[in-house]
Amino acid sequence: MDYDIVITRPCTDAPGRFIAESSFGHRFNMDRLCALVKAIDGARCSESLGVAKFDYSDKTVILYRNGRIDLRKIKDVEDASAIMKELEALLKEAFENKY
């Protein structure tokens, strides 16, 4: 899948890296998403707020109930796309609309 990825601004905590925004195009079921990401060391997830945050492959990932994703410490659009593909496969059980 191709993602509409926008590099929004430089990362303040990682020189030479950027923040990227995109969307998976599917909403998350927060119960399932939180159950999956809580297995990740240091992950935080709030079902009521509809937000999950964790580190993955030296990037910081923020997921929102509506399917939006923010990626921090990204090198470029290709880097963001590769991470999104990996995450989509890992989190497929958490999407409301199953494939």
Entry pTM: 0.92
Query: CA 19, CA 33: separation in Å to the nearest integer?
Result: 22
Helices (H) and strands (E) in the chain, counts: 2, 6
Give the model confidence (pLDDT) of 1-53 as tens digits: 689 999 999 999 899 999 999 999 999 999 999 999 999 999 999 999 999 99
pLDDT of 97: 72
Mean pLDDT of 63-75: 97
Both structure tokens of 37: 């990401």
Domain architecture of the chain: domains with CATH: 6-94 (3.30.310.10)
